[in-house]
Amino acid sequence: MGGFSALNTVDVIDVVLYRYNYYDNRIWTGVKNQMDFIQINDQSILVSPYYLKKYVEKTYPSELNRFKSIGSEFLHKDANSIYFINSILSNMSKLKWIKLTLDKTRRYSRLVIDPNGGEKRINFSYKILHATIKLYEIFDDEESLESITRVLTDLDLLEKGIPYQRNELSNITYRLDNWLNDASFEQEDDVEAVASLLDMLDPKLEGDNPEILLVTDY
């Protein structure tokens, strides 16, 4: 189970760009003029993470170099959409699609105040739409994989004999939490597997409640 990152389960995200933000509008216009994309509606397009990263690196090399030279303690003062998009593309290695949504609202702010320290920081808005959890990559021993697969099948989150199934994350966590509450001491191995899976879920994943493709290995 070592080395697992919830970010590496993410397949599709929705990134919000603001029309009246300088960099956001440049990115939106540049992508539509220079990249292949799938039009969803007049405010949203679907693009490839690979080509979006190449576009950002080619178009904004000086900005990316500047971010590398700024210490992390000062970055919150200079970060912009280029930095955040590049960070997302670098950290989410399994992304298949990025939905770009243009918000045409004039009144917006990415500046938020940390309620704990009172410091100002930049917040970037994106939502996780879809993720794939490959159980055999998380549970690297056969017994644990069999335990979690058995529980998920009993809860109708997987169908016996079919190694994959889609569910909303809230449905998965709800059923697993209820199962844990009713579990007995004799189910120690299954309890450990279920608890491990729940512990691995990132708060961002749970907050966005994406559709999850659960994949096991029968």
- DSSP sequence for 46-68: EE-HHHHHHHHHHH-HHHHHHHH
Residue whose entry in the numeric block shows the structure tokens 């990415």: 110
The pLDDT assigned to 150 comes to: 95
The pLDDT assigned to 76 comes to: 58
Tens digit of pLDDT for each residue in 14-43? 999 988 888 899 999 999 999 999 999 999
**pTM of this structure:** 0.85
Q: What is the pLDDT of the chain when averaged over all its residues?
A: 88
Tens digit of pLDDT for each residue in 82-110? 988 998 998 898 999 999 999 988 766 66
Q: Name residue 162's beta-bridge partners.
A: 159
The pLDDT assigned to 211 comes to: 97
Query: Which has the higher per-residue pLDDT, 71 or 49?
Result: 49
The pLDDT assigned to 112 comes to: 62
What integer is the mean pLDDT of 71-83? 68
Query: Which has the higher per-residue pLDDT, 135 or 66?
Result: 135
Q: Give the separation between CA 209 and CA 218, rounded to whole angstroms.
A: 27
Length of the chain: 218
Residue whose entry in the numeric block shows the structure tokens 């280029």: 82
Q: Give the separation between CA 122 and CA 6, rounded to whole angstroms.
A: 23
The pLDDT assigned to 87 comes to: 87
The pLDDT assigned to 62 comes to: 92
Crossing angle of the two packed helices 22-34 and 49-59, in degrees rounded to 10: 120
Say if residue 198's pLDDT is above 90: yes
